[in-house]
């Protein structure tokens, strides 16, 4: 049994533990969570672990002392440990620990709770028990009677049988069920590779000198490792140590032995009633003979994994399905071992042959459940298009870059099934954060990543655009999200709310690009989220470099925390991350384009005398910056051209807010506006960026925000608003509205402001609407919005929010469309990000990301939606969070065609899509679908950073690149093994 994770993994654990959880807010307080963490650690050292004592639990509800046949007169029952007071408190707070499978109500659990955070935690607990020397059972595993092994195995088997019997669960949640079969003891021991890795961890904890061997086994398991373990054992004096090491060596020998034939024979017996499947599987037997090569076993096991996944649903009996799932876990181990052998002794294959092998590996990833059929199809469409004949480097690189997405796809699939459980359990046990990485490290992804790295390094070397990670060439895994340049200290985790200048001068390492990110110099994330979220579009506008990297690189970043780092992301997609030398420090002042952005709203256009409410249908784009902001003005224009697609709305103009500022400010003897002007002037006289300036700015901002949150425009105003809402939407309480900020300092020529100010979703009832309106007025002066905008603004006192109240319209799915290809910048394509429910994309949920040709149905999948929860309107007000379906596709083919037609028609139907010179502008459009009908929520120009084009560092990196359209790649030549 394995013990605690060590060395490099522990370093990454420390990094992840500093980052904010994306889980729903815990019901426990921070104080409770600290107590829970302490209680959990105490369980690991306690003789009875999470239990108080042993008891009989009878079927009639009686709990009796551990005497023979105690439940005989009570309908029978089971004997096991009784949860301690601390365990009960943890379980009541939602932490699913110390689960007894023998007592599980299977009928109540399946299918209702399979998608819950509870089940995810139950499986993660099994991982922790194996990986952390028993975890909370570290000593309790020797507490006689605490667990009845036979009953636990029987309960686990019943649960697995019920789940695999459900066709929907087996199809939609194949990966989760396969992992459950590998973790839950149910009479079948599977996944030898996982046991090897966990036993190596256990030995390294007991003997730190074994750590280098443990790291080698985890990183690149090979047949030679058995001899290395035996050599190490020979130098140990303790007999029990030698025995444990010999057991590990024997497992490695077993792993690299000819086990495939036995697994296949066992599988064929299960499949006897299904001759077609038997014939398909039987054709692989010659490739799995005792004398077969690693290459043959790799090919055969990859095919076998696909067959199992494709055919398991056709088996009639649950016991047959479970046996097939167990076989899949055994085949996975054998496939992993075959891949390890191929890595140890690579064959001299040509580029084309390597790509063929990469496709086999992709098939294994699909067979394991880590990729969907749709994702496998995307890989086959791109990699399969590379012929044996010479190809243009541009095509070679483009197709291979799709392979580079597979690692993030696999991670997102695991996150879909386990994120809610990981986030919850990690509140009290940070080791839970390692679950996804553990699953990936023991999967076909290890070989796929190895081979795709080599191929992408080859392509980038030919192109002259290598991705450099602290001096090392990285082929795949690093994905550029936004171009930009920064030289700044590397900082781990989210900036503090009051970080001020410190945050703006930091490159931050985050688990994902979170929605409430304050202004920063650069971003390195472990998850891409989606490229069209509000914060991504804001970073794109300000030239803030952003890259997504695999989690296994995060541990390395902790070594550079606090040091000045250069982060360069070019428009052609080259990434360079390195320690900053003297040359880069000189660039720091001049090269960061975000610092050059100066916001100049058109003050001459302002009409602050307009105090009457305006219906959305009466507004046009020309009203932007005059009486209302661009959100309401552009939506009014859009409603004129697409009346059925845009909901009704009512707008409170700028003038009402300006009138509010004429009220007295505290006891200053000045109006609020006069006090603002005086305060801004005082701040302008101070040294920008100094600690004193930061403190004074924050004091001013906080006083203004607090005043606005208590502001009252008067009873007459509220009566007029109530009357207007009834006229537009109906009686109070019969409708909901989205209350949205709409300022004069967003969607400017050089500043988008996307997502900075407040939207209060689905507000029901007039009292709640009043509160939301006041909060929206105050929202431009929250710490985050103020920080992004105010340091770059000319005449900062002239920030005016209008308030758009828009009828709540639910959506089956919603997202963002950009009328240009942001991924490859290919002519004729546009970009889409979409999720189930409403509002997930703009807030940064992991979304379905597509490139679509506007003229023909050519759809490229960049990512599948993997957010585990979807948001829907709650009839009582606000948003309900419900489980997402997990479907391979969010948009249907018909809906994609509707969007294609919309993009084609937009320039003719919406006149403001061109700029003053008549050039077509790139537009950013928020949309939804309800019952297959298009709904439009917002339209704005996509604002990008023009200063990037003149950045000498980025231009120099791209200038060194070759013309990839003219270089020919010989596909029959072998890759350079060096």
Q: What is the domain-level CATH number for residue 495?
A: 3.50.30
Strand ranges across the sheet with 522-525: 472-474, 467-469, 575-579, 564-569, 484-492, 507-510, 522-525, 546-548, 479-482
Integer Rg of the chain from CA: 30
**The domain spanning residue 853 has which CATH number?**
3.30.470.20
Say yes or no: 633 and 572 in one domain: no
Say yes or no: 831 and 762 in one domain: no
Tokens standing for residue 958: 């791209």
Tokens standing for residue 578: 């390195």
Domain boundary among 205, 234, 256: 256
621 in a structural domain = yes
Q: For residue 399, what are the contacts with CB-CB under 8 A and spacing of at least 6?
A: 382, 383, 385, 386
Say yes or no: 555 and 691 in one domain: no
Burial class, 938, CB count within 10 angstroms (exposed 0-12 / middle 13-18 / buried 19+) = buried
The residue behind tokens 């990469």 is: 358
Say yes or no: 204 and 80 in one domain: no
Say yes or no: 381 and 309 in one domain: no
Tokens standing for residue 445: 């992804």
* Among candidate residues 634, 640, 647, 843, the one with its CA nearest the CA of residue 735: 647
DSSP string, 150-213: HHHHHHHHHHHHHHHH-HHHHHHTHHHHHHHHHHS-SS----HHHHHHHHHHHHHHH-GGGHHH
The residue behind tokens 């650690």 is: 41
Burial class, 571, CB count within 10 angstroms (exposed 0-12 / middle 13-18 / buried 19+) = middle
The answer to whether 58 touches 75, Cβ cutoff 8 Å, is yes
Return d(Cα 756, Cα 516) in angstroms, integer: 8
234 in a structural domain = yes
- b/e string for 242-260 if b means 16 or more Cβ within 10 A? bebbeebbebbeebbeebb
Say yes or no: 75 and 109 in one domain: yes
DSSP code of 104?
-
> Which pTM does this prediction carry?
0.84
Q: Could you tell me the residue range of the domain that residue 850 belongs to?
A: 813-944
Return d(Cα 537, Cα 635) in angstroms, integer: 19
Count the domains in the chain. 7
Say yes or no: 422 and 389 in one domain: yes
Query: What is the signed CA dihedral for 551, 554, 555, 559, rounded to 10 degrees?
Result: 170
The answer to whether 604 touches 497, Cβ cutoff 8 Å, is no
* Among candidate residues 450, 310, 301, the one with its CA nearest the CA of residue 369: 310
The residue behind tokens 């085949």 is: 331
Say yes or no: 471 and 450 in one domain: no
pLDDT at 616: 97
Omega cis (within 30) before 547: no
- b/e string for 337-354 if b means 16 or more Cβ within 10 A? bbbbbbbeeeeebebbbb
Domain boundary among 575, 596, 617: 596
338 in a structural domain = no
CA angle, residues 268, 272, 274, in degrees to nearest 5: 110
Say yes or no: 365 and 323 in one domain: no
DSSP code of 855?
S
The residue behind tokens 């900082």 is: 491
* Among candidate residues 827, 749, 743, 734, the one with its CA nearest the CA of residue 782: 743
492 in a structural domain = yes
758 in a structural domain = yes
Return d(Cα 628, Cα 608) in angstroms, integer: 10
478 in a structural domain = yes
588 in a structural domain = yes
Return d(Cα 902, Cα 894) in angstroms, integer: 12
End-to-end CA distance of the chain: 38
**264: Cα within 13 Å, side-chain hemisphere:** 27
pLDDT at 497: 52
pLDDT averaged over consecutive 10-residue blocks of the chain (978 residues)? 39 48 51 93 96 95 94 94 97 96 94 95 95 90 85 94 97 97 81 76 82 73 81 87 87 70 77 87 85 92 96 95 94 92 88 97 98 97 95 94 92 94 95 91 93 91 88 81 90 65 73 70 77 75 84 80 92 89 57 55 92 97 94 95 96 97 93 95 89 91 96 97 98 96 81 75 97 96 80 82 96 95 89 94 89 94 93 95 94 97 91 72 93 94 77 83 88 77
The residue behind tokens 């090897």 is: 196
Say yes or no: 161 and 195 in one domain: no
Say yes or no: 121 and 33 in one domain: yes
The residue behind tokens 């479907």 is: 887
* CA separation, residue 636 to residues 494, 717, 793, 913 (Å): 37, 24, 27, 14
Return d(Cα 251, Cα 33) in angstroms, integer: 40
Say yes or no: 450 and 460 in one domain: yes
Return d(Cα 557, Cα 140) in angstroms, integer: 37
Residue 738 backbone class (left: φ over 0; alpha: ψ -120 to 50; beta: rest)? beta
953 in a structural domain = no
Return d(Cα 872, Cα 811) in angstroms, integer: 7
């Amino acid at each position: 049994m394995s013990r605690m994770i060590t060395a490099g993994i522990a370093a990454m654990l420390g990094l992840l533990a500093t980052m904010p959880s994306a889980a729903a807010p815990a019901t426990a307080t921070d104080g409770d969570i600290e107590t829970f963490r302490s209680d959990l650690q105490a369980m690991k050292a306690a003789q009875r672990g999470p239990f108080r004592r042993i008891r009989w639990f009878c079927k009639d509800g009686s709990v009796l002392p551990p005497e023979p046949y105690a439940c005989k007169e009570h309908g029978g029952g089971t004997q096991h440990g009784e949860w301690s007071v601390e365990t009960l408190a943890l379980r009541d707070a939602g932490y699913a620990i110390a689960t007894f499978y023998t007592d599980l109500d299977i009928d109540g659990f399946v299918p209702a709770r399979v998608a819950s955070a509870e089940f995810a935690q139950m499986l993660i607990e099994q991982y922790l028990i194996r990986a952390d020397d028993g975890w909370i059972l570290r000593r309790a595993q020797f507490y006689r009677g605490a667990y009845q092994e036979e009953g636990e195995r029987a309960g686990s088997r019943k649960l697995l049988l019920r789940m695999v019997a459900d066709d929907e669960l087996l199809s939609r949640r194949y990966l989760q069920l396969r992992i459950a079969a590998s973790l839950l003891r149910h009479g079948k021991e599977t996944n030898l590779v996982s046991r090897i890795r966990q036993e190596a961890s256990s030995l390294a904890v007991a003997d730190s000198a074994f750590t280098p061997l443990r790291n080698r086994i985890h990183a690149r398991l090979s047949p030679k490792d058995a001899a290395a373990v035996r050599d190490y054992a020979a130098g140990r004096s303790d007999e029990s140590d030698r025995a444990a090491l010999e057991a590990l060596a024997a497992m490695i020998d077993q792993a690299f032995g000819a086990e495939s034939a036995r697994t296949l024979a066992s599988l064929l017996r299960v499949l006897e009633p299904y001759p077609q499947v038997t014939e398909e599987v039987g054709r692989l037997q010659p490739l799995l003979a005792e004398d077969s090569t690693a290459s043959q076993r790799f090919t055969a096991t990859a095919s076998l994994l696909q067959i199992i996944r494709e055919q398991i649903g056709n088996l009639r009996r649950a016991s047959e399905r479970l046996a097939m799932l167990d076989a899949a876990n055994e085949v996975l181990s054998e496939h992993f071992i075959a891949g390890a052998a191929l890595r140890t002794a690579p064959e001299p294959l040509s580029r084309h042959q390597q790509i063929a092998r990469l496709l086999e590996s992709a098939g294994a990833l699909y067979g394991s459940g880590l990729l969907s059929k749709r994702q496998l199809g995307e890989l086959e469409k791109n990699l399969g298009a590379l012929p044996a004949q010479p190809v243009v480097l541009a095509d070679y690189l483009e197709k291979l870059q799709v392979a580079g997405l597979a690692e993030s796809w696999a991670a997102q699939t695991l996150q879909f099934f386990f994120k809610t459980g990981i986030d919850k359990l990690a509140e009290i046990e940070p080791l839970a954060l390692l679950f996804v990485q553990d699953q990936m490290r023991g999967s076909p992804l290890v070989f796929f990543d190895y081979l795709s790295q080599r191929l992408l390094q080859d392509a980038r070397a030919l192109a002259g655009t290598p991705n450099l990670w602290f001096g090392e060439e990285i082929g795949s895994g690093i994905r550029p999200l936004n171009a930009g340049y920064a030289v700044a200290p590397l900082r781990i985790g989210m900036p503090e709310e009051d970080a001020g200048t410190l945050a703006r001068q930091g490159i931050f390492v985050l688990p994902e690009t979170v929605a409430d990110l304050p202004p920063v110099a650069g971003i390195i994330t472990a998850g891409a989220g989606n490229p069209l979220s509000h914060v991504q579009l804001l970073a794109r506008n300000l030239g803030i470099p952003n890259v997504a990297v695999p989690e296994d690189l995060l541990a390395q970043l902790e070594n550079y925390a606090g040091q000045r780092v250069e982060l360069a992301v070019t428009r052609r997609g080259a990434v360079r991350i390195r320690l900053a030398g003297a040359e880069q420090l000189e660039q720091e002042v001049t090269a960061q384009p975000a610092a050059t952005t100066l916001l100049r709203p058109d003050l001459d256009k302002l009409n602050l005398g307009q105090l009457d409410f305006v219906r959305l249908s009466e507004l046009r784009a020309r009203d932007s910056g005059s009486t209302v902001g661009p959100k309401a003005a552009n939506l009014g224009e859009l409603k004129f051209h697409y009346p059925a697609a845009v909901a009704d709305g009512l707008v409170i103009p700028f003038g009402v807010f300006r009138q509010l500022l004429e009220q007295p400010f505290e006891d200053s003897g000045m109006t609020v506006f006069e006090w603002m002007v005086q305060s801004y002037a005082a701040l302008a006289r101070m040294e920008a960026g100094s600690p004193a300036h930061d403190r004074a700015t924050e004091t001013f901002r906080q006083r203004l925000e607090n005043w606005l949150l208590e502001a009252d425009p008067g009873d007459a105003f509220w009566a007029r608003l109530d009357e207007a809402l009834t006229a537009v939407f109906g009686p109070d309480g019969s409708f909901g509205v989205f209350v949205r900020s709409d300022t004069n300092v967003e969607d400017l020529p050089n500043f988008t402001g996307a997502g900075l100010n407040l939207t209060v979703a689905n507000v029901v009832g007039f009292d709640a609407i009043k509160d939301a309106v006041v909060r929206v007025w105050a929202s431009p002066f929250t710490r985050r919005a103020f920080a992004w905008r105010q340091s770059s603004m000319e005449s900062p006192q002239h920030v005016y929010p209008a308030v758009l109240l828009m009828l709540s319209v639910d959506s089956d799915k919603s997202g963002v469309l950009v009328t240009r290809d942001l991924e490859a910048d290919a002519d004729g394509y546009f970009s889409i990000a979409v999720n189930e429910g409403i509002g997930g994309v703009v807030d940064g949920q992991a979304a379905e990301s597509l490139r679509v040709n506007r003229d023909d149905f050519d759809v490229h999948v960049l990512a599948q939606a993997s957010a585990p929860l979807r948001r829907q309107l709650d009839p009582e007000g606000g948003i309900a969070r419900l489980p997402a379906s997990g479907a391979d596709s969010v948009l249907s083919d018909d809906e994609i065609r509707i969007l294609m037609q919309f993009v084609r028609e937009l320039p003719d139907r919406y006149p403001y899509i061109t700029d003053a010179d008549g050039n077509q502008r790139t537009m950013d459009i928020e949309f939804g679908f309800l019952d297959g009908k298009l709904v439009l929520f917002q339209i704005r120009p996509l604002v990008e950073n023009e200063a990037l084009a003149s950045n000498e560092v980025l231009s120099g990196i791209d200038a060194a690149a070759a013309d990839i359209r003219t270089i020919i790649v010989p596909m029959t030549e072998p890759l350079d093994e060096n």
